[in-house]
Amino acid sequence: MTIIETFPTQCSDFAGKIRSLVGLPTDRLLSGLSAALGSVRDKYPLMDDDLPDGAAGGYSRHLLHSDDDGLFSVMLLVWRPGGFSPVHSHWTWCGYVVLDGTLHEDRLHWDVASKQAVVRDRIDRMPGDVVVSSPGLHDIHRLGNARQDIAVSLHVYGVSRDATMTHVNRVLPS
Ligand SMILES: [Fe+2]
């Protein structure tokens, strides 16, 4: 059994907490989301055989839960060595928690003059680390796996499952 199979039937507490946050002012939504994500790793620990099979490179996205009313979606991202997202900001509120491995995050700022994103710092995120973001160009990042072991993260996006590929990431020049 993978987490992809077990999480949807176990996550009613988690999903209920996220539902209760939708519609709150952004600062309260994000602080609540951060607290909810912070509890995931203890509640739903990964097992040895918990990860889906996948290609050798890049990263893969797996839907764990979608809200019945399309208010949010929960996805598992499995980052293989060398797998990186593009540089992006977000069209929606969102957040993630690292479940396993080390996730590398480049954080960037938007340079108005050159119309591109410029790296401002680089951080390694460890298991249990939580990051939340609101829509807009003030939060720009690139996530990936610079290590030799697989990294795993769980993400919540404030969109329906059908919109996760098109209405979450705003890919930016860098
Ligand atoms: Fe992101």
- Report the separation in Å between the CA atom of 165 and the middle of ligand 1, taken as the mean of its atom positions: 12
* Residues counted in the chain: 174
Q: 55: pLDDT confidence band, cut at 50, 70 and 90? A: low
Where are the domains positioned within the chain?
A: 2-171
List binding-site positions: 88, 90, 141
Topology at the third CATH level for domain 2-171? Jelly Rolls (2.60.120)
Using CB atoms within 10 A of its CB, is residue 28 exposed (0-12), middle (13-18) or buried (19+)? exposed
Separation of CA 143 and ligand 1 centre (Å): 7
Helix residue ranges, H only, the chain: 3-10, 12-21, 26-38, 40-43
How confident is the model over 56-112, as pLDDT tens digits? 678 999 899 999 999 999 999 999 999 999 999 999 999 999 999 999 999 999 999
pLDDT at 27 over 90: yes
Asked if residue 41 has pLDDT above 90, the reply is no
Q: Model pTM greater than 0.75?
A: yes
